[in-house]
Amino acid sequence: MDKVVTFSDGSSLGLRATALTPRLYRHKMGRDLIVDLNNLKKSYEKVTKSQQEKEENPRRDEISLSVTDLTIFENVAFIMARQYDPTLPPTAEEWLDSMDRVFTVYELLPDILELWQLNQHTTSVPQKK
């Protein structure tokens, strides 16, 4: 499944999520994509809830994503972007260094989570035995 994310400045980034995505992620990053995305989603939901509470009560402390969360986000974005466009640099570091713009986790992560969730949705109907 493909998705092209268009940013506020008009630039775009293509992403692809398929059955191969977890294997590529495991091979390149040495980690489990499903576990990492589930943890990242939980962290992101805590942060967005904290931001909403901060708007309601400015004295409240705001939560932010950890360095580990941000690294996972960058790695997942790289794997999905490289699946979409195999001509991208071969490592996440080279890819990030080659970008003309900086995107934030808050711009792109909702699209990554949505794409992954759509990819996980099954269209098959279980047969009765």
pLDDT in tens, 97-114: 998 877 778 888 999 988
Question: Above 60 in pLDDT, residue 115?
Answer: yes
* Predicted confidence (pLDDT) per residue in 19-29, tens digit: 999 999 999 99
Residue 86 maps to a domain: yes
The total of structural domains in the chain comes to 1
Residue 123 maps to a domain: no
Question: Above 70 in pLDDT, residue 3?
Answer: yes
Average pLDDT value over all residues in the chain: 86
Residue 128 maps to a domain: no
Pair 22, 116: CB distance under 8 Å: no
Rounded Cα gap, residues 47 and 50, in angstroms: 5
| Residue range(s) defining the domain that contains residue 45 | 2-109
* Torsion sign (Cα): 116, 9, 99, 88: positive
Indicate the pTM of the whole model.
Answer: 0.83
Residue 24 maps to a domain: yes
Predicted confidence at residue 122, as pLDDT, reads 53
Residue 122 maps to a domain: no
* Predicted confidence (pLDDT) per residue in 40-91, tens digit: 999 999 988 887 777 777 766 667 888 999 999 999 999 999 999 999 999 9
Residue 117 maps to a domain: no
Alpha carbon separation from 69 to 30, 44, 76, 107 (Å, rounded): 15, 9, 11, 15
- 126 or 35: which leads in pLDDT: 35
Residue 125 maps to a domain: no
Question: Above 60 in pLDDT, residue 15?
Answer: yes
Residue 51 maps to a domain: yes
